[in-house]
Amino acid sequence: MTADKEFKKVTTNTLQKMKAAGEKISMITAYDYSFAKLFDAAGIDIILVGDSASNVMAGHTTTLPITLDQMIYHAQSVVRARERCLVVTDLPFGSYQSNSEIALASAIRIMKESGAHTVKLEGGEEIIDSVKKIVSAGIPVMGHLGLTPQSINKFGTYVVRATEETEAEKLKKDALLLQEAGCFAIVLEKIPAALAKEVSESLHIPTIGIGAGGACDGQVLVMHDMLGINTEFKPRFLRRYLNLDEQITGAIKQYVSDIKSSDFPNENEQY
Ligand code: KIV
C-alpha cells in the first residue's frame, strides 16, 4: 500500500471535511466481496453493510431476522475487498435495544471480528445511552432516523415518516441528541425533503439521505434496488441505474438454451 493510497482512504474525518466543503457523500450497500470490490474501485465513499441483507440476501420480508453473526459474516467479506472507502455495519435488531452494555458488546464484536470501521444504529433518544457508550469505547457511530425498518412492526407500514409536526419535532430533537452523543453522521430515511434540509442545515455532522431529498449531505441506495436486481421495490425516490434483472435472466436463458442444444461448450471451450 503506497502512502498516496493511505492518504486517500475515507475516514469519518474525511466526511466531516466533505460536509464543510459542500462536497456530497456517496454511499451504497454491499454484502459480499465481489460487489464491494467493484464499488470501492468505482470510487464510492461509504459501503454500508446494511441489515437489508436480511431482505435482499436472505429473502426475509423484514430486516428483523438477521443475526449479529450473519452481519459479521457479510461485513468480513466486504472489508476484505475494501481499499479506500469507509465500511459501516448495521447493528441488527436485538443486538443493542435492551441496554447499553449489550449494545457495546455487539459493536465490539463487529469491530473485532469483521474489521469494519464503524457501526450504525436505528433510533434517537431511546438509544442515546448506547450511542454514548459505544462512542466512548472509540467506535464511531452512524445514526439512522425517519423510517427505521427495524421498527416496522410499530409503524405498520413503510410510508413516509415525520409528515406530522409531532414526529417532525421529535426527529429534529433526536438528530441534535445523536450529534451531541458523538455520532459522525446520520442516515435520514424517507422523510419530507424540507425537513431533511432543515435537519441537515442544523447539524455540523453530515446527513445521508434515502428518500429524503437533495439537500442531504450525501445519498445512499440499496445496491439490489439501484442495479435493478430487485424489481419489485419501486418507491418514488429510487433511481435505477441498471436493469440487471433483465440482463441476468436473458443471460441465464441463453446459457440454458446453449447447453440443451449442445452449442456450449464448443471446440475452443474445451481441452
Ligand atoms: O440496511 C440498509 O440497507 C439501510 C439503508 C436503507 C440506509 O439501513
Residue 87 has pLDDT above 80, yes or no: yes
Region label for 119, one of left (φ > 0), alpha (ψ between -120 and 50) or beta (otherwise): beta
Confirm or reject: Cβ of 216 under 6 Å from ligand 1: no
- Distance, in Å, from the CA atom of 116 to the CA atom of 88, rounded to the nearest integer, reads 6
- The mean per-residue pLDDT over the stretch 127-135 comes to 98
Which of 57, 63, 207 to probe ligand 1 with, by most ligand atoms within 8 A of CB? 63
Confirm or reject: Cβ of 220 under 6 Å from ligand 1: yes
Residues written for the chain: 271
Backbone angles phi, psi at 30, to 5 degrees: -155, 155
Closest CA to 40 of 23, 57, 28, 53: 28
Confirm or reject: Cβ of 187 under 6 Å from ligand 1: yes
CA distances from 161 to 75, 127, 146, 204, 259 (A): 29, 19, 6, 23, 50
Task: Indicate which residue's Cα is closest to atom 8 of ligand 1.
Answer: 50
Q: pLDDT > 70: what percent of the chain?
A: 97
Ordered by start, the domain boundaries in the chain are 3-240, 243-271
Residue 1 has a pLDDT of 44
* pLDDT, tens digit (0-9, with 9 covering 90-100), for 157-179: 999 999 999 999 999 999 999 99
- The mean per-residue pLDDT over the stretch 31-38 comes to 98
User: CA-based diameter of the chain, in Å?
Assistant: 70
Residue 4 has pLDDT above 90, yes or no: no
Are 253 and 243 in contact by the 8 Å Cβ rule? The answer is: no
Residue 93 has a pLDDT of 98
Confidence label for 8 from pLDDT (cuts 50, 70 and 90) = confident
Confidence label for 7 from pLDDT (cuts 50, 70 and 90) = low
258-271 b/e (C-beta count within 10 Å ≥ 16 → b): eeeeeeeeeeeeee
Are 195 and 145 in contact by the 8 Å Cβ rule? The answer is: no
* pLDDT, tens digit (0-9, with 9 covering 90-100), for 46-74: 999 999 999 999 999 999 999 999 999 99
Closest CA to 190 of 123, 128, 142, 235: 235
Task: Indicate which residue's Cα is closest to atom 4 of ligand 1.
Answer: 50
Residue 2 has pLDDT above 90, yes or no: no
Residue 37 has pLDDT above 90, yes or no: yes
C-alpha cell at 186: 446520520
In CATH terms, the fold of domain 3-240 is TIM Barrel (3.20.20)
Give this prediction's pTM: 0.96
3-class DSSP state of 168: helix
Residue 6 has pLDDT above 60, yes or no: no
- Distance, in Å, from the CA atom of 239 to the CA atom of 221, rounded to the nearest integer, reads 9
Q: pLDDT > 90: what percent of the chain?
A: 96
For the annotated catalytic residues, the residue numbers are 189
- The mean per-residue pLDDT over the stretch 81-107 comes to 98
Strands 141-146 and 218-221: unpaired
Give the CA dihedral 162, 167, 169, 175, nearest 10 degrees: -70
Confirm or reject: Cβ of 52 under 6 Å from ligand 1: yes
Closest CA to 157 of 62, 228, 90: 62
* pLDDT, tens digit (0-9, with 9 covering 90-100), for 208-248: 999 999 999 999 999 999 999 998 899 999 999 999 999 99
Task: Indicate which residue's Cα is closest to atom 6 of ligand 1.
Answer: 222
- The mean per-residue pLDDT over the stretch 68-89 comes to 98
